[in-house]
Each structure stands twice: as structure tokens, then as C-alpha cells.
């Protein structure tokens, strides 16, 4: 264990001193301790096939093919502007909400193409939830209403006691229940930044998605709040498939089972450079550009 | 050369002094502008208060007008008429105005949006007497008589562009990440607009409505040939109906001293109601979580 830690540290510390001192790069523990290889044929949740994403004429993401494993955490890393977030937003059809945003290629959720003409994006988003960079609780709603917002706004009529149960469950799943159980009727905006972000996670979980996409969920948070969210992500992986975009490599190393490395090509479109088990990608990258990036030679 | 003890920060040259004087002058000139504005406003308000407030009693508010030359009488007919006509106009203008603003903001399409916004801007600048003329031709003539309803249509014409412009600004201020958050939860777009976007901007929307109401309340010209006027208490919107600004106009230009003072009193009430409306929007109707 120590040996492996050192290895990562040697490579990581060159430029990556942003991490907390007591939380140097170390891969999240389970697999590392057991040292076992993850099977390559794990069940697949989302299969991305030849995905391109455009803003008007500009292609931001180029020909990405990638299988995201079910009930695993997959991180997406890469330098700024390499299309990480755009790619993520293609996975629940949020990209098309951007002005001039369009995509081609296939994204299969359990073998069903979410870009099929007969598929309603609303239905896709109920199965594939999303947490954003900046905590964005609904300002006119209480903590309680925030949690059930998605759940309630999807229905015309709801049972009061069912609602309360759901709020408690979702807040417990998001490790927020103990902190807010006495202020469920206060504004969501009254919480701290980290709590707000966990509230947003609870809100997403309350809809009971299969996949949770996270777009740099900690970049607006302080280190302590960041750690809480990371712990939470590890807990959630037993039930949910998680895809997390991060510009923090230590975070990718800490929370994810699988890592995807994107890089901007000559035409400024983001391409998939390497995809593999997090441990392997960080300790023994196959592509020299990945190695250059994780050792801090650019980006 | 400065002496050794002199601070190098103590600048005393001509440039510096000229700059200081210019600064002073600019400050004085600008405060004078602000002062004149406030002064004029206060003069108008206090004169209306002085001339009007003294004339008001319960009878003035609740009685119908007396025949010309007889002392006493009130403006009940005009108060009720104004309320009915403006309320009806709001009912017409609000859905159309806010609906248009939602369309412009949530479904941005370059040409259509720009064109509608331009038309709304033009419409706010259309003189209200022209609006009255149009409504006279489109509503009063076909219906065959002056009516409160036609007055409401004229007011609605005046209110709609104001509501569109204020509502569009209000909706634009709703952070797009809230819309995205809602959409990402699988909430359909129409419910996102209804449950997230409108509540967040409710206060600004309401301010816009009040602004439009306040503007309409005082409009006289279009009422002259739409709702016309009525000396009897009338609540039937298909009949001619009295409104406060028309009463002010008639009384103020009439030959009797008694009418003049009643015009002042009516003016006071009009200003008071508009002022009250603004204050109420600011203080009473707040979103649940405002501190």
C-alpha cells in the first residue's frame, strides 16, 4: 500500500500541490488494498458510440466511444476546454438546451438509444440525473420542497406522507439528513455551500435515477465540504452509476474506479485519449499524453 | 526641489488644484440636478396634497356627483369605474404580456424575438390618444356605444408593452442554472417555467404589473372616447363608465370653483392610490424567504 502511494505521489506532486496536505493523491482504498484487477466485462450502464457534440458549427467533442460501467464511479479528466462538461451534458440530453447545441452519434442507456426520435428528453433526465458545478437549490423553495422538487414537479398529485418519507430517504442518502432535519422548512439558500450541493444531490436522488452525472461538483466548495461530497460519492456507488467531471486529478484518483482522459485535438475538438481503470491510468498510463498530463507537464 | 522634510505625497501643483476644483464643481452640478428633480416632485406632491387632501371627506368618496352648480357630491362613480376598468384591463393584459415575455425569453428565436421586442418598444411610445382612437374604431363603433369594456381594451393596449418589457427583463434575470437544474431533474419545460422561473421572478413581474396599472390609472385621453364618463354609479361594463382621470379633466376645465377643488381632491386620491400601490408591492408582497 505504501509503495503504491509513493508511486503516485512521486508522479503527482510535481505540480499538483493543490490537494490537502493530509490527503495527498491516494487512490480510493478498496481495490487498491486488494490489488485486484477489475474485470473488463462488468455490466455496462451507458454505452457512448461515436458521439460528436457541436455548438453551431464548432465541434466541441469528437467521435467519442466509451462504455461506462454500471454502479461504478467514472471520472472524466482533462485540461480546460477539452469538452469534458460538454460530453457529460450529452449523456442526459442537456447539451441540446444550450443555444445551438446539437449532437450526433449514439448514447445507449441499457441498450436503448437516448437520442432516438421517439425518446422524450424528459424521460431520459429522470433516469440520468445531473449535479452542477455551482450548487443551485431553487431559491423560492424550502429544503423540503427542494428535495421533492423533481419528484413533485413530475407528478400532478402526491401523497403527503410518501413525500416526507422520500425527503428523509433522499437526505439520508446524501448524508445531509442529520444537519438539516430541524430546518426542513427553511430556505435551501440558508444552507452552507457544501450543504447546498448535497441538497442538490439529494434532489437528484429523490427522482430515483440510475445514473448521476456530476459536473465538477466540488469546484465551488471548500476542502472540507469537498471531502464530504467525495465520501458521499463513494457511498452512492453501491446503488448508482456515477460519472464525474473534474479538473482535479487527485479527486479523480480518490473517488473513481475508472478514468477517462480527454484532450483537445488540433481542430480544438475534445477527443478521448485514454480510458481505463483509475489505478492503471494513474500509475501506468498507456498513452504518453496521459502520462504528460497526470505528471503535470501541461494542462 | 522639495525640502527634505516635505512629504512626497503632498502634491500642491496647479494641475492637482485644478482637478480638485473640477471635481468639486462636478459634484455640485450633479447634486443640483438631483436636487431640482426631487424639488419639483415634492412641489407637485405637496401642492396636490395641500389642494386636495383638505377637500376629502367620507362623502366625497361615497357620494355620486351632484348636478352642476349644486355644492357637495362625490366621485364614487369614478372610483368604482376606474377600479373595474383597470382590473379588467389587467386581466386582459397580464396573461398576454407575461405570455409574450415567456415566449421571447424561453424560446429565443433571433428574428421573431427581436421583432416583437421592437414592436413592444414602439407600442410604449404610441401616444395614448392614438390608442384611444384605435379602440374607438375597433371596439366602440362596432359595439355602438361608449363602454367600460372599450376603456379596458384601451388600457390593456397601454399596459401590454409595459408588462412585456418589464417581464422580459425579470425573466432574463432568472439564472439559467435554475432552469437547467429543473430540466435535469426531468421536469418538463412548461412546468419548469411555471414552478421555477415564474416564482423566482414573481416580485419583478408584479412590480411590472403595478407599473403598468399605475400608468394606466392616470391615462385620460383614451378614456375620453372609450369609457367616456357617467354621472351615475355604473357597474355594467357595456355602458359608459366614469373614471377618475376623466373626472379630473372635466372638473378642472369646468367653470365652477367647487369643481376645481373636487378635481384637486380626485387628483390627490389618484396620486395616493398609485403611491400606495408602489409601497404595497415593496413591502407586503415578498417572497417567502426574503430576509
pLDDT category of residue A20 using cuts at 50, 70 and 90: very low
Distances (CA, A) of B172 to B94, B103, B176, B267: 18, 12, 9, 36
Query: Does position A190 have pLDDT exceeding 60, yes or no?
Result: yes
Interhelix angle A143-153/A160-173, nearest 10 degrees: 110
**Residue in A294, A297, A298 with CA at minimum distance from that of residue A249:** A294
Cβ distance A123 to B196 less than 8 Å, yes or no, reads: no
pLDDT digits (tens, 9 = 90+) for A41-90: 789 999 999 999 999 999 999 999 999 999 999 999 999 889 999 999 99
A138, A153, A204: residue with CB nearest B191: A153
The A258-264 sheet, strands edge to edge:
A112-113, A101-109, A44-55, A58-69, A270-277, A258-264, A73-77, A241-245, A211-215, A128-131
- Which of A58-62, B94-98, B232-236 has the least mean pLDDT? B232-236
Chain A contacts of B202, Cβ < 8 Å?
140
Chain A contacts of B180, Cβ < 8 Å?
94, 97, 132, 136
According to the model, what pLDDT value does residue A24 have? 43
A97, A126, A190: residue with CB nearest B186: A126
Report ipTM (2 d.p.).
0.81
Query: Cβ of B173 under 8 Å from any chain A Cβ?
Result: no
pLDDT category of residue B10 using cuts at 50, 70 and 90: confident
According to the model, what pLDDT value does residue B42 have? 94
More confident residue, A158 or A185: A185
B180, B199, B202: residue with CB nearest A97: B180
B186, B196, B202: residue with CB nearest A138: B196
pTM passes above 0.90? no
Nearest CA in chain B to A202: B185
- Highest averaged pLDDT of the listed ranges A19-23, B51-55, B166-170: B166-170
Q: How far is B185 from chain A (nearest CA, A)?
A: 5
Average pLDDT of span B111-118: 87
Average pLDDT of span A275-289: 92
A123, A126, A136: residue with CB nearest B177: A136
Cβ distance A99 to B196 less than 8 Å, yes or no, reads: no
**Residue in B181, B179, B135, B184 with CA at minimum distance from that of residue B156:** B135
Nearest CA in chain B to A98: B180
Nearest CA in chain A to B286: A140
The answer to whether B160 touches B96, Cβ cutoff 8 Å, is: yes
According to the model, what pLDDT value does residue A220 have? 87
Average pLDDT of span A261-272: 90
The answer to whether A122 touches A179, Cβ cutoff 8 Å, is: no
Give CA–CA dist A149/B209, Å, rounded: 28
Give CA–CA dist A69/B124, Å, rounded: 58
Q: How far is A218 from chain B (nearest CA, A)?
A: 16
Distances (CA, A) of B123 to B93, B117, B140, B157, B289: 13, 10, 21, 8, 36
Amino acid at each position: 500500500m505504501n509503495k503504491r502511494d509513493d508511486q503516485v505521489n512521486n508522479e503527482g506532486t510535481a505540480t499538483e500541490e493543490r490537494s490537502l496536505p493530509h490527503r495527498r493523491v491516494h487512490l480510493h482504498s478498496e481495490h487498491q488494498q486488494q490489488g485486484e484487477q477489475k474485470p473488463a466485462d462488468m455490466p455496462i450502464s451507458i454505452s457512448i458510440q461515436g458521439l460528436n457534440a457541436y455548438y453551431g458549427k464548432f465541434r466541441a467533442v469528437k467521435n467519442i466511444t466509451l462504455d461506462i460501467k454500471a454502479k461504478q464511479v467514472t471520472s472524466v479528466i482533462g485540461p480546460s476546454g477539452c469538452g469534458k462538461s460538454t460530453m457529460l451534458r450529452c449523456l442526459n440530453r442537456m447539451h441540446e438546451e444550450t443555444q445551438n447545441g446539437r449532437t450526433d452519434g449514439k448514447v445507449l442507456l441499457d441498450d436503448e438509444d437516448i437520442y432516438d426520435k421517439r425518446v422524450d428528453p424528459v424521460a431520459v433526465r429522470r433516469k440520468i440525473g445531473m449535479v452542477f458545478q455551482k450548487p443551485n437549490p431553487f431559491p423560492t423553495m424550502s429544503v423540503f420542497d427542494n428535495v421533492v422538487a423533481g419528484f413533485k414537479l413530475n407528478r400532478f398529485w402526491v401523497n403527503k406522507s410518501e413525500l416526507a418519507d422520500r425527503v428523509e430517504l433522499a437526505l439520508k442518502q446524501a448524508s445531509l439528513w442529520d444537519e438539516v432535519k430541524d430546518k426542513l422548512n427553511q430556505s435551501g439558500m440558508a444552507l452552507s455551500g457544501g450543504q447546498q450541493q448535497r441538497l442538490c444531490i439529494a434532489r437528484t436522488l429523490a427522482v430515483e435515477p440510475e445514473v448521476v452525472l456530476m459536473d465538477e461538483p466540488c469546484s465551488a466548495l471548500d476542502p472540507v465540504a469537498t471531502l464530504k461530497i467525495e465520501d458521499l460519492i463513494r457511498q452512492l456507488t453501491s446503488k448508482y452509476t456515477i460519472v464525474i467531471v473534474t479538473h482535479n486529478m487527485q479527486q479523480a484518483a480518490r473517488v473513481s474506479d475508472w478514468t477517462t482522459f480527454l484532450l483537445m485535438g488540433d481542430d480544438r475538438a475534445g477527443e478521448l485519449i485514454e480510458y481505463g481503470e483509475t489505478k492503471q491510468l494513474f500509475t501506468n498510463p498507456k498513452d504518453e499524453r496521459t502520462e504528460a498530463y497526470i505528471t503535470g507537464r501541461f494542462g | 526641489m522639495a525640502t527634505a522634510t516635505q512629504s512626497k505625497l503632498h502634491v500642491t501643483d496647479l494641475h492637482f488644484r485644478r482637478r480638485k476644483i473640477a471635481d468639486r464643481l462636478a459634484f455640485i452640478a450633479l447634486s443640483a440636478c438631483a436636487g431640482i428633480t426631487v424639488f419639483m416632485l415634492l412641489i407637485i406632491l405637496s401642492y396636490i396634497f395641500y389642494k386636495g387632501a383638505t377637500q376629502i371627506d367620507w362623502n366625497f368618496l361615497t357620494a355620486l356627483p351632484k348636478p352642476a352648480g349644486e355644492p357637495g357630491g362625490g366621485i364614487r362613480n369614478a372610483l368604482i369605474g376606474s377600479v373595474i376598468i383597470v382590473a379588467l384591463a389587467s386581466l386582459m393584459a397580464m396573461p398576454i404580456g407575461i405570455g409574450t415575455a415567456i415566449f421571447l425569453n424561453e424560446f429565443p428565436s433571433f428574428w421573431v424575438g427581436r421583432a416583437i421586442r421592437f414592436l413592444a418598444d414602439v407600442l410604449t411610445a404610441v401616444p395614448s390618444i392614438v390608442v384611444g382612437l384605435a379602440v374607438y374604431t375597433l371596439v366602440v363603433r362596432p359595439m355602438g356605444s361608449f363602454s367600460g369594456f372599450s376603456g379596458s381594451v384601451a388600457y390593456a393596449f397601454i399596459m401590454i408593452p409595459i408588462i412585456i418589457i418589464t417581464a422580459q427583463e425579470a425573466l432574463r434575470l432568472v439564472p439559467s442554472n435554475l432552469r437547467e437544474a429543473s430540466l435535469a431533474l426531468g421536469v418538463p419545460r412548461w412546468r419548469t417555467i411555471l414552478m421555477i422561473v415564474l416564482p423566482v421572478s414573481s416580485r419583478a413581474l408584479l412590480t411590472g404589473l403595478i407599473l403598468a396599472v399605475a400608468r394606466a390609472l392616470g391615462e385620460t385621453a383614451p378614456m375620453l372616447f372609450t369609457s367616456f364618463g357617467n354621472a351615475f354609479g355604473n357597474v355594467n361594463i357595456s355602458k359608459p363608465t366614469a373614471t377618475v382621470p376623466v373626472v379630473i379633466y372635466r372638473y378642472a376645465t369646468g367653470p365652477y370653483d367647487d369643481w376645481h377643488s373636487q378635481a384637486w381632491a380626485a387628483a390627490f386620491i389618484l396620486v395616493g392610490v398609485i403611491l400606495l400601490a408602489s409601497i404595497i408591492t415593496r413591502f407586503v408582497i415578498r417572497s417567502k424567504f426574503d430576509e
